[in-house]
Amino acid sequence: MKIERELMRGAGPVAVLKLLNRREMYGYELVETLAERTEGALVMGQSTLYPMLYNLEAQGFIESYWKEAGAKGAEGSRDRKYYRLTEKGKKRLADDIKQWEAVIRAMKALGVASIAVPALPARSNP
Amino acid sequence: MTPYSPKALGANVSSAPQVSADSLPAELRRIIDRVLKRSKLWPSERADVEAELASHFADGLASGLSVEKLVEDFGDPDAASSLIRRAKIRGRSRTWHAWRLARQLALATLALVVFSYVFVTVRFFVGTPTITRDIRKELNDPIAAIPQNKRGWPTYKQAYAAIVTPEPDAAGSSRSQANGGLDTPEDARRNQDAIVLLRKAAAFPNFGVELDNPQDYEFLLRHQLRLGGKEDWASRKIEQPSRDGPAVEIVLQHLGVIRSFARLLMQDVDLALQAGNSASVSEDLVAGAQMAVQSRESPFLISDLVSLAIGDLVMSKVREVLTRRPDLLTDQSLRQIATALRDIGPRRQLVRFDSELLSFEDILQRSFTDSGNGDGRLTPAGIRLLAQLSQFNGEGPQSGAGEIAAFPVASSIGPGRKALHDMYVSIMTQVKQWEQSPRWARPAPPDPEAIKRGTFPLSPYSFLSLMMPAFNNSVHAADRFDASRDATLAIIALEQFKRAKGRFPASLSELVPSFLPQTPIDIADGQPLRYKPSGDSYTLYSLGANLMDDGGKPAETSSKESQVSNFRPMGIDFSKIHDDWVFFPYKAFPKDQPGN
């Protein structure tokens, strides 16, 4: 199930921050991971993802750097822009998580969200 | 597509990747191009985004996704470009944001200024004055009410038509100044018929010259042409002036004519004096004084000033006659002359400013809109009138493009109709209070020029400076006239005293109350006029401008320093001026002294 645009606007940043809290990622990887880990619920096109990343970067929650993927100079090697969480981003993530938990509790209390929400499974870096 | 330059130029460009979108399928390149084109980023930002999107598509293709799928997953490129631009701008430096804010504020201010200017300009140009009062008629109504049988004007016209000029000289030239030319004894000798008519006209209680009369205008103009030697004076086409304009444009030709008549009469006095013709001397002097009374009929300040000038002329001639032939005038003539001089009016009414206020109100109603409560704003018609008045006065606004562009602003930020009216009334109230003080104790006059100096030169304040009467000079003229009249009446009284007592009095106080109601005052210091009897004659004088008693010694030259209009002006060394104003015995005064 896809999330409505307005809901995505609130959920997208915290989801991205959460992913980057575990390890640094590049844009395509973030899209893929979000789609995979949320069973397609948080599918993001580039037209949404990259503006979101640039906004988070502008606010100082994440930072970026370019890195060559693959063996340097090898055929198929390519530069990718990686993003990682800053200290400020970590604090923001902690705050966001608390808020989302509060929202979920409230929704449960109202009977809007009746299922248990499993924690995100841990994944190792590729 | 241009290969991405690795050089990082702006904020948040972390390193120098070498990524080219050239190898991507055309559909994907088009998306990147569209996003970059519409986002309008800095080159460094643009390169960063281009490289990242190209990398993203390359990853997608490497993952086995089709071009179509990647295009579909990308979403709306236009929305993306907008969001990317917003995000990138957010990431720019504080300095840039401060500059951007300043620029936006400047642009907003500029827009506000432009909008305001357009607004005030439109508002200015749609404004039109509403003329609700016929001020010309208000001024003329009292004159129009004068019965025909009390008007001297028809007889004056006969006299004017009877004036003859000398034949052109050998060079063929004739008199160049028709009104100013009646100033020699020969003119008087040649115009005895006209002089008889003038005496008759002056005996009427009223002048009776109606304002804006086209027949009078043509009559006077034709005879000016005739006296100027123009052969076609009777047939030349006469163009009438507009009578729709403000009251200040009313043509007062008759004032110049009556002044020239007064000069002609005084020339006739000289003839009669030489001939020992007491009756003619008396009749001419009385007629001259009555002309001074009549010329005050039209309620303009200029009429009063002409009246004072005629009165000064007559009084000077009275003193001359009493100096040269004290026995010539009969007792009755002396009484008639004294009465006629007193009839010119009491001191406080010698110069009147009431009609000036009417004229100012006329200017206001022709220049400002009418809000219905006495207020209004300046209109283009007002600017035209202001320019017209300025040309007339030789000052005021120029017609440069910048000044024209400033008129709407001046109209909006300058004082409105009511404010100007109130200022005018306030200044004139100060003038009246100031004028009440005795001349010798009078402080510096109110200074309406300060208003003009302190404001924008094109502002509606210009109306004030242009329309404010020259009250300082006018009041001074009245003071001089009054001083000269007091002295002349004292001289007549001294002659009457001598005829009654066989001697001159020891002091002026002896004249009171039988010959004078009160002792004449020296306007220089408020003390009695200086009187020094000496056998069969005496000296009567004022201290003059230097406030020092020079023993009745008149100024020998008409120096610039003696031409003072105030008694204590700045920057004049009075110790060098010997200028007692000597009223008797008569001597041709320097022109700046009282009575001349």
Flag if A51 and B80 touch (Cβ within 8 Å): yes
**A47 and B CB contact within 8 Å:** yes
Specify the pLDDT at position B168. Answer: 60
At B125-159, the pLDDT tens digits run: 899 999 999 999 999 999 999 999 999 999 999 99
**A24 and B CB contact within 8 Å:** no
pTM over 0.80: no
**A86 and B CB contact within 8 Å:** no
At B59-100, the pLDDT tens digits run: 899 889 999 999 998 889 999 999 999 999 999 999 999 999
Specify the pLDDT at position A117. Answer: 54
Residue B451: pLDDT band with limits 50, 70, 90 = low
> Do B491 and B449 contact (CB within 8 A), yes or no?
no
> Hey, how many other C-beta atoms are within 10 angstroms of the C-beta on B315?
29
Determine the 3-state secondary structure of B582 from DSSP: strand
Residues in chain A with CB shorter than 8 Å from the CB of B58 are 78
Structure tokens at B301: 């300040």
Helix or strand run (H / E) with residue A83: strand A78-85
CB proximity list for A5: less than 8 A, separation 6 or greater:
none
CA distance A78 to chain B (A): 7
Specify the pLDDT at position B229. Answer: 85
Specify the pLDDT at position B398. Answer: 53
Bridge partners (DSSP) listed for residue B476: none
**A75 and B CB contact within 8 Å:** no
Question: Percent of chain B, pLDDT > 70?
Answer: 84
Higher per-residue pLDDT: B265 or B170: B265
Specify the pLDDT at position B596. Answer: 42
Calpha distance A98→A78 (Å, rounded): 38
Average pLDDT over residues B369-375: 92
Calpha distance B91→B88 (Å, rounded): 5
Average pLDDT over residues B467-491: 88
Residues in chain B with CB shorter than 8 Å from the CB of A83 are none
Specify the pLDDT at position B14. Answer: 47
Flag if B87 and A55 touch (Cβ within 8 Å): yes
Is it the case that residue B257 has pLDDT exceeding 90? yes
At B117-129, the pLDDT tens digits run: 999 999 988 999 9
Is it the case that residue B309 has pLDDT exceeding 70? yes
Residue ranges in chain A modelled with pLDDT below 70? 1-3, 70-76, 114-126
Specify the pLDDT at position B576. Answer: 61
Specify the pLDDT at position B434. Answer: 84
CB proximity list for A126: less than 8 A, separation 6 or greater:
A29
Bridge partners (DSSP) listed for residue B581: B542
CA distance A26 to chain B (A): 9
Structure tokens at B458: 């094109």
Flag if A51 and B63 touch (Cβ within 8 Å): no
Residues in chain B with CB shorter than 8 Å from the CB of A67 are 15
Residues in chain A with CB shorter than 8 Å from the CB of B87 are 51-55, 57-58
Higher per-residue pLDDT: B348 or B155: B155
B interface mutation test: which of A42, A50, A52, A67 has the most B CBs within 10 A?
A50
- Give the nearest chain B residue to A79 (CA atoms): B17
Calpha distance B316→B269 (Å, rounded): 12
Is it the case that residue B324 has pLDDT exceeding 90? yes
Identify which of B377, B444, B384 has the alpha carbon closest to the alpha carbon of residue B414.
B377
Instruction: Give burial (CB, 10 Å; 0-12/13-18/19+) of B373.
Output: exposed
Residues in chain A with CB shorter than 8 Å from the CB of B59 are 26, 28-29, 78, 80
**B281 and A CB contact within 8 Å:** no
Flag if A58 and B75 touch (Cβ within 8 Å): no
Flag if A47 and B74 touch (Cβ within 8 Å): yes
Identify which of B570, B571, B561, B568 has the alpha carbon closest to the alpha carbon of residue B593.
B561
Higher per-residue pLDDT: B210 or B3: B210
Instruction: Give burial (CB, 10 Å; 0-12/13-18/19+) of A37.
Output: middle
Q: Which long-range contacts (CB under 8 A, 24 or more apart) does B554-557 make?
A: B554/B579, B554/B580, B554/B581, B554/B582, B554/B587, B554/B589, B554/B590, B554/B593, B555/B579, B555/B580, B555/B590, B555/B593, B557/B590
Structure tokens at B300: 């303009």
Residues in chain B with CB shorter than 8 Å from the CB of A31 are 73
Q: Average pLDDT, whole number, for chain B?
A: 85
Flag if B84 and A54 touch (Cβ within 8 Å): yes
Residue B508: pLDDT band with limits 50, 70, 90 = very high
- Between A45, A53, A65, which is nearest B14 by CB? A65
Instruction: Give burial (CB, 10 Å; 0-12/13-18/19+) of B81.
Output: buried
> Do B421 and B364 contact (CB within 8 A), yes or no?
yes
ipTM here:
0.85
Higher per-residue pLDDT: B419 or A75: B419
Specify the pLDDT at position B545. Answer: 73
Specify the pLDDT at position B41. Answer: 93
Flag if B80 and A58 touch (Cβ within 8 Å): no
